[in-house]
C-alpha cells in the first residue's frame, strides 16, 4: 500500500540489507559448532573430516547469505517504489488479459508504478469472466484486493493459454468488489471521479465503444491512452511476415468499435506497433525479473512459463533467456510519461479492415512513433518490476 509520508530511506537503510543476512549467517555458523561438538562427543570424528565439513558448510553459509541479501534487496527496493509522494494519476485499465502475456506484464508494471492510482480493472473481449479471474488472482498476489474488477461485455466462451493458472479459481473468492456490468462500472468510475481519469486500453475496445454509446460524456472526463494500430512499420516477422504496415490485432479484432473510440472527442495517445512492437527484456534486465521473489512478480513469471509452454517448442530456453514482446507495457508508461518516446500529433483514420492510416483530415491523435531511448525504457521496466536499477 502507498505510504506517501515516509521516505523509503528512513525505513529501509542500506546497512540492513547487508547486515541482516550476515547476522543470520552468523547464527547458523554458531549453531553449526554446537552441532559438530555434539556429534564429536558421540562419534569422535577425526580432524580432517571435521575440517572438510567446515569448509563445505562455510561455503553453503556464504551462498545463503548472498541469496538472502539479494532477496532482501529485491523485496525492500520493490516496496520502496510504493513510497512515491507526488500527486497520483487516477487510472482505469481496460484489458484483454489472459490472451497474449503482455497484458499480465502491463498490469504488474501498473501495480508497481506509484504514480498511478488504479481505480478499476475491466476485462475486454472474448471470455471476459475468464479474463477477470486472471486479473483477480494477480491483484491478490499483489495484495491489492482494494482494486475493483469489472467484467466486460461477454463475447465468447473460449479460455486461453493462461487457463491452467486459474483452474479451480472462483471469482467469488476475490476479496474485493467484482462488478458484473464492467461497462457500467467504467462509466460510473469516470463520471464519479473528481479528477479526469486516464483510461489505459490494452486490448480491442468493444467495452469502450459501448461505454461511449451509453454515456458519451465520458469523453469529456477521460483521457484515452492505448496500445493500438500500426502507422509506418511493424517489428520484423510480425503479422504478415514483413516489417511494413499491418492491421494490428487490437484494431483488427473489432474495427467498428475502434472507429467509434477514435472519433470520440477525448484526448488520445497511442503506442502503435512502431514503438511497442520492439520492447523485449533480455540479459541482466530479464534475469532480475525472473529471479525476483516479490509475490506479484513471481505470479507474473508463473504465468509467463504457462503461457510460453502452451505453444513454444523451445519454451524452456526462451523462458530462461528473455521475455516475449511487451507491447502493452508502453501504454502503461504513456499514462505517466512520454520522456523516452518520440511523439507526433497525427490525424489517424481507422479503416473497416482494421488498418490505422495517417490522414491529416482525420481527428488528431498523439502518437508514439519512435524511441528516443529504448534501452532506457527496458531498464525502467526491469527497475519497476524488481526495484533494482539495471543498465
| Binding segment (CB under 5 A) for Ca ion, from list 28-36, 170-178, 188-196, 197-205 | 197-205
The grid coordinates of residue 288 equal: 532480475
Return the number of the residue (25 or 330) whose C-beta is nearest Ca ion: 330
CB of 250 to Ca ion, least distance (A): 7
Q: What's the sign of the alpha-carbon dihedral 114, 389, 344, 279?
A: negative
CB of 354 to Ca ion, least distance (A): 15
Return the number of the residue (328 or 378) whose C-beta is nearest Ca ion: 328
Binding to Ca ion (CB under 5 A): which residues in 117-146?
none
Return the number of the residue (77 or 328) whose C-beta is nearest Ca ion: 328
Helices (H), the chain: 8-11, 14-43, 47-80, 102-111, 128-141, 182-192, 206-214, 218-221, 249-252, 255-263, 273-276, 283-291, 295-309, 315-321, 329-334, 374-386
- Other Cβ atoms closer than 10 A to 266: 16
Binding to Ca ion (CB under 5 A): which residues in 84-113?
96, 103
Binding to Ca ion (CB under 5 A): which residues in 254-273?
none
The grid coordinates of residue 60 equal: 553453503
CB of 233 to Ca ion, least distance (A): 20
b (16+ CB within 10 A) / e for 124-153? bbbbbbbbbbbbbbbbbbbeeeebbbbbbb
Q: Is 277 in the site for Ca ion (CB under 5 A)?
A: no
Size of the site for Ca ion (CB under 5 A): 5
Q: Is 202 in the site for Ca ion (CB under 5 A)?
A: yes
Phi-psi region of 283 (alpha: psi -120 to 50; beta: other; left: phi over 0): left
What is the x/- site pattern for Ca ion, positions 338-367, by CB under 5 A? Answer: ------------------------------
Q: Is 77 in the site for Ca ion (CB under 5 A)?
A: no
Task: Give residues in contact with Ca ion (CB under 5 A).
Answer: 96, 103, 202-203, 328
Amino acid at each position: 500500500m502507498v505510504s506517501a509520508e515516509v521516505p523509503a530511506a528512513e525505513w529501509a537503510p542500506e546497512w540492513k540489507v547487508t547486515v541482516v543476512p550476515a547476522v543470520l549467517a552468523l547464527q547458523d555458523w554458531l549453531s553449526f559448532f554446537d552441532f559438530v561438538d555434539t556429534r564429536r562427543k558421540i562419534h569422535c570424528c577425526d580432524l580432517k573430516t571435521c575440517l572438510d565439513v567446515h569448509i563445505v558448510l562455510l561455503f553453503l553459509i556464504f551462498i545463503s547469505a548472498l541469496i538472502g541479501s539479494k532477496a532482501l534487496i529485491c523485496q525492500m527496493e520493490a516496496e520502496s517504489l510504493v513510497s512515491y509522494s507526488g500527486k497520483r494519476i487516477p487510472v482505469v485499465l481496460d484489458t484483454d488479459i489472459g490472451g497474449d502475456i503482455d497484458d499480465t506484464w502491463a498490469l504488474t508494471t501498473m501495480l508497481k508504478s506509484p504514480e498511478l492510482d488504479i481505480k478499476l480493472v475491466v476485462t475486454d473481449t472474448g471470455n471476459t469472466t475468464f479474463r477477470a479471474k486472471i486479473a483477480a488472482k494477480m491483484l491478490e498476489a499483489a495484495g491489492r484486493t482494494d482494486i475493483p474488477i469489472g467484467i466486460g461485455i461477454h463475447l465468447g466462451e473460449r479460455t486461453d493459454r493462461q487457463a491452467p493458472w486459474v483452474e479451480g479459481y472462483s471469482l467469488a473468492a476475490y476479496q474485493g468488489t467484482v462488478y458484473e456490468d464492467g461497462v457500467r462500472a467504467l462509466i460510473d468510475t469516470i463520471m464519479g471521479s473528481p479528477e479526469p481519469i486516464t483510461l489505459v486500453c490494452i486490448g480491442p475496445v468493444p467495452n469502450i465503444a459501448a461505454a461511449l454509446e451509453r454515456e458519451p460524456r465520458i469523453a469529456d472526463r477521460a483521457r484515452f491512452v492505448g496500445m493500438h494500430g500500426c502507422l509506418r512499420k511493424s517489428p520484423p516477422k510480425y503479422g504478415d511476415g514483413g516489417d511494413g504496415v499491418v492491421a494490428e490485432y487490437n484494431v483488427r479484432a473489432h474495427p467498428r468499435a475502434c472507429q467509434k473510440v477514435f472519433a470520440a472527442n477525448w484526448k488520445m495517445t497511442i503506442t502503435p506497433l512502431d514503438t511497442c512492437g520492439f520492447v523485449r527484456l533480455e540479459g541482466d534486465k530479464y534475469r532480475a525479473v525472473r529471479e525476483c521473489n516479490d509475490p506479484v512478480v513471481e505470479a507474473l513469471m508463473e504465468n509467463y512459463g504457462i503461457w510460453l509452454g502452451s505453444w513454444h517448442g523451445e519454451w524452456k530456453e526462451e523462458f530462461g533467456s528473455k521475455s516475449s514482446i511487451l507491447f502493452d507495457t508502453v501504454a502503461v508508461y504513456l499514462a505517466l510519461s512520454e520522456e523516452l518516446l518520440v511523439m507526433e500529433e497525427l490525424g489517424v483514420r481507422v479503416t473497416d479492415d482494421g488498418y490505422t492510416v495517417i490522414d491529416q483530415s482525420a481527428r488528431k491523435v498523439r502518437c508514439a512513433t519512435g524511441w528516443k531511448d529504448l534501452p532506457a525504457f527496458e531498464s525502467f521496466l526491469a527497475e519497476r518490476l524488481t526495484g533494482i536499477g539495471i543498465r
